[in-house]
Amino acid sequence: MSTEDQEAQEDELLALASIYSEDEYMRADTAQGGEIYLCLDLPSDFVVSIKSNNETNSYAHNFENTVSYLPPIVLNFELPPGYPSTTCPIFTLCCKWLSPSQLTLLCQRLDDLWEENKGSVILFQWIQFLKEETLDYLNIKSPYEIEVSGNGVQDWMQSPNESLTDGVLLERGALDRRAIQDAQSVPALVQCILDINEAQQKKDFDRKQFLCNICFMEKSGSECTHFKACQHVYCNYCLKDYFEVQIKDGQVHALNCPEPECTSIATPAQVKDLVDEQLFRRYDRLLLQSSLDLMADIVYCPRPSCRTPVMQEPDKTMGICSACKYAFCLYCKTAFHGLSPCKVSAEEFIELMKEYMTASEERKKEMLRRYGSFDKAVEDFKNREWLQENSKPCPNCKSPIEKNDGCNKMTCTACKKYFCWLCLKILCQENPYKHFDTPLACINR
């Protein structure tokens, strides 16, 4: 290697290191080369979907999303001894969302740029082209459909029609060895796109300034929390106090955006970033419990010291706690009592009986399984209702007496006492009618 080439190479590598961050440029440890990671600037509201040539992969046809960033194009290069005076850099182009044919076109363009500038350093021109002109050069517009070759990385052993020498195309139209689509699978590609987009958006957010509408102070994005559903932003200090009060009060479903009438909910990850570990454990426990409470087939072990969730089995009346092994009745939550009906208080039984009289057939069967027969109790209840409406109790022995005819002087059929039907006063046995001649009594009624 000539001294001029060696100096030109070293100057170019040092310049790359000074311009690009460690996330964008990595210099090789053992050779004159490295890798450049290039994230393209996409138009706003850029929509991507995925198409796979693998007909068995139905997952691909379900993905469509609006993104601000896509995974980078990776330029891996090595500077040979004759660069830049006579020899082109050895390189590969890797990308997850560009097809092998698209990457081949980019490789050809890099070759053309070298031919146009042979004898001069070329990496900056390559980088500028890839960064600023790739979308126009490949005519990529929104909505853009990503085509995945097979299951991901193309297999060169299955490409017999290519014509290559030392990694350089001999014939236009064939795929280039240096063009690599490194998507291992469609699900992995989808996840990578979502992760990259979210990570880059987070970097952009952290660099911006926002006004907190609680403390009315301007903070950098790295000190703020962003509610994505509503786009509201608040500083972490204010949200931390707000979340702590809500969690201590047990209002885990009230961890929403503080903006009045806004229904955006904080994610568990956002809560974890703001509150201490002990409070987050309480939040996590209450959130799980509230979710289980909404599940119709979940009950809790009735032992106060346990309270482990127990899954109900269809048509079963017994639950067994997986933690403490307590067997209990799923209806009354007491120790399992086999075929014996659940015990209830007299007041509860009256209410259940009223429900049974108007219940559907399915509900009646369930109540019979749980409480036993209601037939005799219903008959007695109806008798008592009829007596309450059509009779009065004897003021002496409380026997129900029906008045079907005659005057208001009544004779109890049980104890033979006389009493007034109107005021239920016991009357004199010698002269019971005197009551009806006495002023202020039931005279003329």
Domain parsing of the chain, residue ranges? 3-157+171-199, 211-293, 346-389, 403-437
**pLDDT of 165 above 70:** no
Q: What is the mean pLDDT of residues 182-186?
A: 83
211-293 matches 3-157+171-199 in CATH topology: no
Please provide the CATH number assigned to the domain covering 211-293.
3.30.40.10
**pLDDT of 162 above 50:** no
Q: For residue 309, what are its two tokens?
A: 């969730």
Angle between helix 277-293 and 236-248 (nearest 10): 50
Q: Looking at per-residue confidence, does 413 or 330 come out higher?
A: 413
Please report which confidence band the pLDDT of residue 71 belongs to, taking 50, 70 and 90 as the band edges: very high
Q: What is the mean pLDDT of residues 350-356?
A: 74
Please report which confidence band the pLDDT of residue 102 belongs to, taking 50, 70 and 90 as the band edges: very high
**Residue 397 is among the residues annotated as catalytic for this protein:** no
**pLDDT of 58 above 70:** no
- Computed over every residue of the chain, the mean pLDDT equals 82
**pLDDT of 163 above 70:** no
Query: CA 403, CA 280: separation in Å to the nearest integer?
Result: 72
Q: What's the topology of domain 3-157+171-199?
A: Ubiquitin Conjugating Enzyme (3.10.110)
Angle between helix 361-371 and 346-358 (nearest 10): 150
pLDDT at 338: 77
Please report which confidence band the pLDDT of residue 77 belongs to, taking 50, 70 and 90 as the band edges: very high
Q: What is the mean pLDDT of residues 393-409?
A: 86
Give me the torsion for CA of 431, 437, 439, 441, rounded to 10°: 70
Please report which confidence band the pLDDT of residue 60 belongs to, taking 50, 70 and 90 as the band edges: very low
pLDDT at 423: 86
> Which among 324, 407, 423, 428 is annotated as catalytic?
407
Query: CA 197, CA 39: separation in Å to the nearest integer?
Result: 10
Name residue, tokens 């009950």: 299
Query: CA 96, CA 184: separation in Å to the nearest integer?
Result: 9
Terminal alpha carbon distance of the chain: 134
pLDDT at 159: 38
pLDDT at 322: 86
pLDDT at 383: 75
With a threshold of 0.85, does the pTM exceed it?
Answer: no
Q: What is the mean pLDDT of residues 213-224?
A: 90
% of the chain exceeding 70 in pLDDT: 84
**Angle made by CA atoms 295, 296, 297, in degrees to the nearest 5:** 95
Q: What is the mean pLDDT of residues 161-177?
A: 53
Please report which confidence band the pLDDT of residue 98 belongs to, taking 50, 70 and 90 as the band edges: very high
What lies within 8 Å, CB to CB, of 41 at 6+ separation is 131, 132
pLDDT at 173: 55
Please report which confidence band the pLDDT of residue 83 belongs to, taking 50, 70 and 90 as the band edges: very high
Listed range (40-54, 108-122, 413-427) with the worst mean pLDDT: 40-54
* Selection from 168-172, 261-265, 385-389 with the highest mean pLDDT: 261-265
pLDDT at 345: 63
**pLDDT of 261 above 60:** yes
